[in-house]
Amino acid sequence: MLSLVYPSFLFHCRWWKFPLLLPLYQGEQKLCRGLTSRFKRIGGLTGFAFCSTRPVLAKSDSAEIILYQYEACPFCSKVRSFLDYHKLPYSVVEVDPMRKQELAFLADYKKVPVLKYNNQVIKDSKEIVDFLCKQVDCQQTNEDMVWRKWIDENIMKLLSPNIYRTPREAFQAFEYINSISNFSSAQKIINKVFGAAVMYLVAKRNKKKHELGDERQSLYDAVDHWLAKAVGNKKFAGGDVPSVADIDMYGVMKALSMMKCTWTDVDKNTSVKDWFRRMEDKIGGSSRVI
Beta pairing partners, 115: 67, 122
Q: How far apart are CA 280 and CA 278, in angstroms?
A: 5
For residue range 201-219, list pLDDT tens digits in order. Answer: 999 999 999 999 999 999 9
Q: Give the pLDDT score at 62.
A: 65
Q: How far apart are CA 172 and CA 175, in angstroms?
A: 5
For residue range 185-196, list pLDDT tens digits in order. Answer: 999 999 999 999
When pLDDT is averaged across residues 106-118 and rounded to a whole number, the result is 94
Instruction: Express as a percent the part of the chain with pLDDT over 90.
Output: 72
69 near 116, Cβ under 8 Å?
A: no
Type and span of the H or E element at 117: strand 114-117
For residue 46, is pLDDT > 80?
A: no
Q: Give the pLDDT score at 45.
A: 31
For residue range 253-264, list pLDDT tens digits in order. Answer: 999 999 999 999
pTM comes to 0.79
Q: Give the pLDDT score at 157.
A: 97
- Upper half-sphere CA count for residue 44 (Cβ side, 13 Å): 0
Q: Give the pLDDT score at 211.
A: 97
Strands 91-94 and 65-69: parallel
For residue 174, is pLDDT > 60?
A: yes
For residue 67, is pLDDT > 70?
A: yes
Q: Give the pLDDT score at 52.
A: 33
User: What does residue 190 show for φ and ψ, rounded to 5 degrees?
Assistant: -60, -45
- Higher pLDDT among residues 37 and 236, named by residue: 236
Q: Name the band, by pLDDT with cuts 50, 70 and 90, for residue 24.
A: very low
For 266-284, give the DSSP string: HHHHSSHHHHHHHHHHHH-
Integer CA distances (angstroms), 31 to 25, 35, 88, in order: 10, 6, 18
- Secondary structure class of 123 (helix, strand, coil): strand
Burial grade of 1 (CB within 10 A; 0-12, 13-18, 19 or more)? exposed
Angle (CA) 99-103-105 rounded to 5° is 130
- Higher pLDDT among residues 278 and 34, named by residue: 278
Picking from 91, 94, 81, 69, the residue whose alpha carbon sits closest to that of residue 132 is 81
Integer CA distances (angstroms), 173 to 17, 57, 249, 257, in order: 27, 34, 19, 11
Query: What is the rounded end-to-end Cα distance, in angstroms, of the chain?
Result: 41
Q: What is the 8-class DSSP label of residue 116?
A: E
Q: Give the pLDDT score at 107.
A: 85
What mean pLDDT value characterizes the chain?
84
Q: Give the pLDDT score at 61.
A: 55
